[in-house]
Amino acid sequence: MAIINEKYSTIIQDTVEQLSGGEHYLSPCFFKQNGQPLPSEKKLKEIVQLTRSVLFPGYFGNSRINAHTIRYSIGISTERIYELLCNQIHAGLCFECCYDEELFSGNRKKAQDLAASFIAKLPELRLSLETDVEATYNGDPAAESMGEVIYCYPAIRAISNYRIAYTLLNLNIPILPRIISEMAHSETGIDIHPGAKIGKSFTIDHGTGVVIGATAIIGERVKLYQGVTLGAKSFPLDEEGNPIKGIPRHPIIEDDVIIYSNATILGRITIGKGAVIGGNIWVTDNVPAGERIVQMPVKP
């Protein structure tokens, strides 16, 4: 609303010159040139919402479906997912690449293939998520119905995003899986790296502060509480002191394990089948199957 006077105008100009004068200090890493499209968080959100509406029909998106009309609703959403995903995958493929029209145009074709591959995996994705919903419902005495779990529980939101991101990562699509898992991280405080492998009937209670690292492996029917970390203890550096990428460094959690709130499990250790880990503890060694470990309670 205010008028820009000469003085302020000069300050603005000077700042613009400094910020756009690349010669001086502008490292190429911090200046992305030549306009390849960037992945759009907004569009990825729409993709996730549409996917949810297709996997849990009637709970998300169009609520009016019935046995007759469900095809319309799922059909139109699936087409839309395909369309949006083509563009986003294209943007993802170009995220790190240099300026090259050939490559740009080849990536467009590739993106269409990959989007179709993702679509083809939706029925499978749905079956996995159904087991997660059931496990969550059965594990929470406060849950009043499956519907409530699907509709309201942040764990289901985070696990949905994880399973979508995992599927995309396995198609070797760069950057998008990470953005999709960060979206859930931001909404729920649950940070599951899309590279982790997680079995069926997985559930997380409350969830804020949960961290699951990139090389973690989790069996079936595992339950985590808020604040649990499945992290790396340390990671080997290469000769130049940079971390070596891709080395297994996060825990293996076998079937039927329960881990209580704020427990920290670090390193490529194994928590054996059916073990129970109490809250607020720090575990850096293997735990045998069936074992039960807790912090020494502080007596008042």
Between residue 152 and residue 191, which ones bind its own copies under the rule CB under 8 A? 152-154, 174-175, 178-179, 182, 185-189, 191
Q: Of 45, 49, 138, 199, which one interacts with its own copies (CB under 8 A)?
A: 138
Q: Which of residues 4-33 bind its own copies (CB under 8 A)?
A: 4-5, 7-20, 22, 25, 27, 29-33
Contacts (CB under 8 A) with its own copies, residues 65-94: 65-76, 78-79, 82-83, 86-87
Span from 42-50, 104-112, 161-169, 216-224 in contact with its own copies (CB under 8 A): 104-112
Handedness of CA 76, 79, 84, 88 (dihedral sign): positive
Structure tokens at 288: 């045998």
Number of amino acids touching its own copies (CB under 8 A): 152
| Cα–Cα distances in angstroms (integers) from residue 53 to residues 49, 69, 170, 222, in the given order | 6, 14, 23, 26
Q: Report the nearest approach of its own copies to the CB of residue 166 (Å).
A: 14
How far is residue 125 from each of residues 64, 129, 162, 200, measured CA to CA in Å?
Answer: 23, 6, 11, 11
The residue ranges of DSSP E strands in 136-190, in sequence order, are none
The distance of closest approach from Cβ of residue 35 to its own copies in the complex, given in angstroms and rounded to an integer, is: 3
Separation CA 194–CA 213 (nearest Å): 9
Q: Which is nearer to its own copies, 130 or 220 (CB)?
A: 130
106 contacts its own copies (rule: CB under 8 A): no
Kindly state whether residue 97 participates in binding its own copies, applying the rule CB under 8 A: no
> How crowded is residue 78: how many other Cβ atoms within 10 Å of its Cβ?
16
In whole angstroms, the minimum distance from the beta carbon of 179 to its own copies comes to 6
Q: Phi/psi at 60 (nearest 5 deg)?
A: -125, 160
Does 123 interact with its own copies (rule: CB under 8 A)? yes
Smaller CB distance to its own copies: residue 185 or 199? 185
d(CA 236, CA 238): 7
SS3 call for 225? strand
